[in-house]
């Protein structure tokens, strides 16, 4: 995990949710300077703060820490809020629904 990546991800999440570091700092009960350190990649937030951010923004740790797999395409780590929400909904679905979603996407993308 690279601290600069974590900082870029936190900044992207703040932008996506139209909030700022001062508001985040108040929610987490840390100083705005602390959030600034995270965003600049000077420090990495503790897991308790990461988990609180995930709860606030409806994301998971990988949205903040980024991919742990170096073979993952960069486009996957740059998902829009709608794409991230679709992935969360997919993961929360029962397997029969997941299969139906996969089949629908395959059919739509292979038809021309």
- Give the pLDDT score at 111: 65
Residue 71: per-residue pLDDT: 53
Distances in Å between the alpha carbon of 39 and those of 21, 33, 98?
Answer: 9, 10, 35
Which stretches of the chain are DSSP H helices? 3-16, 21-28, 32-40, 47-57, 61-65, 74-77, 81-92, 95-110
Task: Identify whether residues 40 and 85 lie together within a single domain.
Answer: no
Residues 12 and 62 placed together within one structural domain of the fold: yes
pLDDT of residue 43: 93
pLDDT digits (tens, 9 = 90+) for 32-72: 999 999 999 999 999 999 999 999 999 989 889 875 455 55
More confident residue, 92 or 25: 25
Whether residue 2 has pLDDT greater than 60: yes
Domain count, the chain: 2
Residue 26 lies in a domain: yes
pTM assigned to the model: 0.61
């Amino acid at each position: 995990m690279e601290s600069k990546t974590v900082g870029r991800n936190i900044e992207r999440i703040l932008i996506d949710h139209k909030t700022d570091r001062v508001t985040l700092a108040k929610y987490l009960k840390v100083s705005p300077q602390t959030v600034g350190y995270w965003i600049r990649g000077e420090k990495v937030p503790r897991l308790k703060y990461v988990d609180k951010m995930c709860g606030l923004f409806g994301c998971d740790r990988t949205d903040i820490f980024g991919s742990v797999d170096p073979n993952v395409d960069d486009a996957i780590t740059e998902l829009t809020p709608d794409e991230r929400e679709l992935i969360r909904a997919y993961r929360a679905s029962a397997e029969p629904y997941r299969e139906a979603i996969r089949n629908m996407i395959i059919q739509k993308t292979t038809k021309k």
